[in-house]
Amino acid sequence: METSAHPAPDYPFLEYAELGLDPRLDVARHSGALLRVRLPYAGEAWLATRYHDVRKVLTDPRFSRAAAMGPDVPRQTPDPPFVSTIMDVDRGEHGRLRRLVAVAFTERRVDELRPYVREVTHRLLDDLLRQGPPVDLVRALALPLPMTVICRTLGVPLADRDEFRRWTESLLALRRITAEEFRNVVDALEAYLRDLIRQRRERPTDDLLSALVAARDSGSRLSEQELLSFGVTLLAAGFETTASHIASSTYLLLTRPGLWDGLRAAPERLPSTVEELLRYVPLNGGAGLARVAVADVEFDQVTVRAGEAVFVSTISANRDEDAFPDAGTFRPDREPAPHLAFGWGPHRCLGARLATMELHEALAVLLDRAPALRLAVPPADVSWKTGTILRGPRELPVTW
């Protein structure tokens, strides 16, 4: 294996502010090769930071997610993963599981859901405007909108939202918790879902959880553990990421001169602006999911040997100048391009259409109902999340 004359830097790279990237990502991307990094546990791995390298890792079948579940694979946590989800299986098995849930996220189903998302957004804006400034936009809109939508989609009672949000925050935390602590959170979430599954078996409804229960019970297309894992994954990933993106995107539009007013004057530019927001706004701060090579794979200047782990940085790839001219500049008029905000290839985020639609509707209603929106504090005083996989404002005080 190729090694560097310099010791491998510790990864993940977490020295960033607001919407910036850790400078070490820029250095690695400009080097033209994969970078050798050291994870907190189980040793060293490769890191892909360039656009075409990241896409290669995400699409080449010689890189396995299932193999990354092993105990000796470099990772962030003290203990190896013990719960397998749809994100942790390879093509054949992944395709089987994905087909069972993909029907809920087709373009047609997302379009059918758009009026409901718009209605919820207007209702939240009614409350926000009635309350009067200043208002924390995270608590008033960015968080409750996707939370309400995923509850409706999956079939989770909205009254339980505070409880399951505590669970998902623990699952997304970067802090070093033991396997026992993590297992306790998963056990609590699975117990909650088991009760919902029991209710759906007794009284089926028109939601995704009922559809998954039917897939489990008719033809055994889904095991009971797969059913639980689906619920955990959809619940944990179904709203926190979108909430962070709504908050971060609003922050960017309100802090870059002319952007908010320009959109207000030309709302037809919102679709291209949303795509640029998805490209430009970094959503993660952790190492993400490893993939393990099952055969030797050649890259520029580097051969990844069979058995070696590779991490990818999609936020770095989305700032690659070779893929996006002037990539470090936010350009709302940029021609739509295949960014990697939702990953790429077989494991591309199932909820990409839904998340994009929610971001679009949230901004559209804000521009229409609160055209004079602005930060209620200096940008430097905005509080940002720490100790979690996801990035974004913890609070976003606004006025109008």
**36 beta partners:** 46
Q: Is residue 167 part of a domain?
A: yes
Q: Is residue 68 part of a domain?
A: yes
Q: Is residue 271 part of a domain?
A: yes
**Whole-prediction pTM:** 0.90
How many domains does the chain fold into?
1
Q: Is residue 322 part of a domain?
A: yes
Q: Over the Cα atoms of the chain, what is R_g?
A: 21
Q: Would you write out the chain's pLDDT as a tens digit for each of its 400 residues?
A: 454 557 899 999 988 989 999 999 999 999 989 999 999 999 999 999 999 999 999 999 999 998 888 889 998 877 776 556 666 677 777 777 777 777 778 888 899 999 999 999 999 999 999 999 999 999 999 999 999 998 888 888 888 877 877 887 777 765 556 667 777 887 888 888 889 888 988 898 888 888 878 777 665 567 777 778 777 777 777 788 999 999 999 999 999 999 999 999 999 999 999 999 999 999 887 777 899 999 999 999 999 999 999 999 999 999 999 999 999 999 999 987 799 999 998 888 888 999 999 999 999 999 999 999 999 999 999 999 877 778 999 999 999 9
Q: Is residue 18 part of a domain?
A: no
Query: Rounded to 5 degrees, what angle do the CA atoms 80, 86, 91 make?
Result: 105
Q: Is residue 257 part of a domain?
A: yes
Q: Is residue 306 part of a domain?
A: yes
Q: In whole angstroms, give the CA distance from residue 149 to residue 213.
A: 20
- CA 73 to centroid of chain Cα atoms: 22
State which residues form the domain around 367.
Answer: 23-399
Classify burial at 251, counting beta carbons within 10 Å of its beta carbon; exposed 0-12, middle 13-18, buried 19 or more: buried
For residue 109, the domain's CATH number is 1.10.630.10
Q: Is residue 260 part of a domain?
A: yes
